[in-house]
């Protein structure tokens, strides 16, 4: 892993010493971004997420965390991060916080979505629903695994990472760090807070990040919006692809194996026992439940815009269509979105994150964009090539962790695929 001696050296930058340095760590399929804000007098650091479903070849999360801690260590030998942001509780965004190195990192504030607030009854209700669904899905998968045939096992193996991410059952240690760990007794904030005097509702400033105005664009406190996960036809970069199940290009079967009947039957129709089983089968297939749960948690993702001296940096986590649609329809947020200078590409470049209208009609020409991503067999269309093409058509400079050989100015990359750029302020 890299260390402080061989990490990329800053080149150029703002002549007044004011710049934001953004480092994107090569965690594979996940997110870890360290932002260092130099305001001419002091240095502030923000860490957005630290997690992965599958690390890049030769990279371990333990090494990623060691590098982040080294990069955040001051000359006195103390590691300091002013704000840690956990956009949502999925494994690919928080798993790294289970590492013990965080115990000695001084943190001033930790930000999480309002759905993580232990004192909020509505948040607790949403977490309980998600957790219970995850436990039921896990039990169902375990039961099926004991009796499954080759076809069902193949399907289970193909989607195991999606299901593991959706289940969230191995994140307890990481979430404990976020809720009660780190050095320095950090304050915890669950965003956006309810509108009241002194609250961090939509836009706020904090002493932890002097000179930074934070716009909280999501998640909404409306259940209808945070579960509005898929954009309507024509509003995303989605298109039909070859099937991910099978080699022949045929579309995947619409039903799981539980709902298939051998066509070589007696011709007498289903038995009374089978008919009763079908009537009892009122729930979705395991895969459909996993997909729905995965999207539901993404719907609670923080979507934050940093405004620094007229420069706008957008970090949407894995925010889904509902959050984006609400932000683009809001006059205040819409105006801000049109001023974006840097964009952390949402949800690793999936179809239901970055809306077409945002790219084609809102962002200015020439922005910088970063995608922390890894092409997977089960998701051959992540990152979305039409999305990347649309960004490039707007003269955006795009960097991807899965394509380090293609990195060019204004980005730099080290031998381990860690990508860095500076945004003048």
Q: What is the pLDDT of residues 379-399, one digit of tens each?
A: 777 888 889 899 999 999 999
Number of domains in the chain: 1
Lowest mean pLDDT among 66-70, 114-118, 153-157, 417-421: 153-157
* Stronger pLDDT, 415 or 372, i.e. the higher one: 372
Domain-located, residue 248: no
Whether 201 is in a domain gets the answer yes
Greatest mean pLDDT among 115-129, 267-281, 315-329: 315-329
Q: Is the pLDDT of residue 268 over 70?
A: no
CA distance 368 to 285: 40
Q: Report if residue 240 sits inside a domain.
A: no
Q: What is the pLDDT of residues 20-52, one digit of tens each?
A: 999 999 998 899 999 999 987 789 999 999 999
286-298 and 160-167 are packed helices; what angle lies between their axes, rounded to 10 degrees?
Answer: 50
Given a cut of 50, is residue 240 above it in pLDDT? no
d(C-alpha 383, C-alpha 390), whole Å: 12
Backbone φ, ψ for residue 127 (5° rounding): -65, -40
- The pLDDT confidence band at residue 319, using thresholds 50, 70 and 90, is very high
User: Percentages helix, strand, coil for the chain, rounded to the nearest 5?
Assistant: 35, 20, 45
Contact 351, 321 (CB under 8 A): no
Give the model's pLDDT for residue 138. 72
Angle at 35 between CA 117 and CA 166, to 5 degrees: 45
**Mean predicted confidence (pLDDT) in 89-99:** 93
Q: What is the mean pLDDT of residues 341-364?
A: 90
Lowest mean pLDDT among 21-25, 272-276, 305-309, 337-341: 272-276
Q: What is the pLDDT of residue 124?
A: 87
Q: Pinpoint the alpha helices (H) of 236-320.
A: 272-280, 286-298
Tell me what the pLDDT averaged over the chain comes to.
80
Residue (of 299, 322, 379) closest to 90 by Cα position:
299
Q: Using CB atoms within 10 A of its CB, is residue 373 exposed (0-12), middle (13-18) or buried (19+)?
A: buried
Q: What percent of the chain has pLDDT over 90?
A: 49
pLDDT at 370 over 70: yes
Rounded-to-integer distance, Cα 6 and Cα 233, Å: 47
Burial class (CB in 10 A: 0-12, 13-18, 19+), 183: middle
Report the range out of 64-73, 153-162, 225-234 with the highest average pLDDT.
64-73
**Max Cα distance, the chain (Å):** 83
Q: Is the pLDDT of residue 111 over 50?
A: yes
* Region of poorest pLDDT, from 77-86, 261-270, 272-281: 261-270
Tell whether 272 is covered by a domain.
Answer: no
In a domain, 36, yes or no: yes
pTM of the complete model beyond 0.85: no
The per-residue pLDDT for range 162-204, each reduced to its tens digit, is 666 666 666 889 999 999 999 999 999 999 988 765 566 799 9
Instruction: Name which residue leads in pLDDT, 279 or 328.
Output: 328
Q: How confident is the model at residue 271 (pLDDT cuts 50, 70, 90)?
A: low
| pLDDT for the residue 46 | 98
Which residue stretches of 117-202 are H helix? 121-147, 150-158, 160-167, 172-180
CATH number at residue 342: 3.60.15.10
DSSP at 232 = P
Q: In this predicted model, which residue has the larger pLDDT, 13 or 60? A: 60
| pLDDT at position 139 over 80 | no
Report residue 156's pLDDT band, with 50, 70 and 90 as the boundaries: low
The mean pLDDT of 230-235, rounded to a whole number, is 64
| Domain enclosing residue 332, as ranges | 18-124+166-235+294-424
Q: Is 252:243 a contact under the CB 8 Å cutoff?
A: yes
Query: How high is the pLDDT of residue 224?
Result: 79
What confidence score (pLDDT) does residue 330 get?
Answer: 93
- Sorting pLDDT into bands at 50, 70 and 90, what band is 93? very high
Mean pLDDT in residue range 108-128: 91
In angstroms, the CA 44 to CA 212 distance is 10
Report the DSSP pairing between strands 311-315 and 340-344: parallel
Residue 247 located in a structural domain: no
Q: In the predicted model, is pLDDT for residue 278 greater than 70?
A: no
* Domain assignment present for 346: yes
In a domain, 279, yes or no: no
């Amino acid at each position: 892993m890299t260390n402080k001696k061989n990490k990329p050296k800053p080149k150029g930058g703002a002549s007044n010493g004011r710049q934001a340095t953004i480092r994107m760590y090569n965690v594979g399929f996940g997110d870890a971004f360290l932002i260092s804000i130099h305001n001419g007098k002091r240095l502030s650091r923000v860490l957005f997420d630290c997690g992965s479903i599958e690390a890049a070849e030769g990279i371990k999360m333990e090494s990623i965390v060691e590098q982040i801690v080294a990069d955040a260590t001051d000359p006195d030998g103390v590691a300091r991060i002013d704000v840690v942001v956990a956009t949502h509780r999925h494994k690919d965004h928080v798993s790294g916080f289970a590492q013990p190195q965080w115990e000695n990192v001084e943190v001033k504030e930790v930000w999480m979505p309002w759905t993580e607030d232990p004192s909020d009854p509505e948040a607790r209700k949403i977490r309980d629903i998600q957790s219970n669904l995850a436990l039921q899905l896990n039990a169902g998968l375990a039961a099926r695994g004991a009796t499954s045939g080759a076809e069902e096992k193949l399907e289970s193996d193909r989607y195991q990472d999606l299901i593991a991410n959706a289940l969230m059952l191995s994140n307890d240690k990481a979430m404990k760090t976020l809720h009660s760990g780190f050095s320095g007794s950090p304050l915890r904030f669950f965003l956006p807070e309810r509108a009241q005097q002194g609250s961090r509702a939509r836009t706020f400033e904090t002493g932890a990040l002097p000179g930074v105005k934070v716009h909280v664009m999501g998640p909404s406190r409306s259940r209808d919006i945070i579960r509005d996960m898929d954009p309507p036809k024509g509003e995303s970069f989605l298109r039909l692809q070859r099937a991910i199940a099978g080699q022949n290009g045929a579309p995947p079967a619409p039903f799981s194996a539980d709902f298939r009947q051998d066509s070589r039957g007696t011709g007498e129709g289903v038995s009374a026992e089978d008919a009763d089983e079908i009537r009892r089968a009122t729930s979705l297939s395991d895969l459909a439940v996993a997909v729905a749960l995965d999207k539901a948690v993404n719907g609670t993702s923080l979507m934050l815009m940093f405004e620094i001296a007229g420069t706008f940096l957008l970090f949407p986590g894995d925010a889904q269509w509902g959050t984006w649609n609400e932000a683009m329809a809001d006059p205040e947020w819409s105006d801000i979105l049109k001023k974006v200078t840097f964009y952390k590409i949402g949800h690793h470049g999936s179809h239901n994150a970055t809306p077409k209208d945002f790219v084609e009609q809102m962002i200015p020409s020439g922005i910088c964009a970063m995608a922390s991503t890894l092409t997977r067999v089960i998701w051959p269309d992540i990152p979305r090539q039409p999305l990347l093409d649309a960004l490039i058509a707007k003269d955006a400079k795009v960097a991807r962790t899965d394509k380090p050989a293609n990195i060019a100015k204004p980005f730099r990359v080290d031998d381990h695929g860690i990508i860095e750029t500076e945004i003048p302020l």
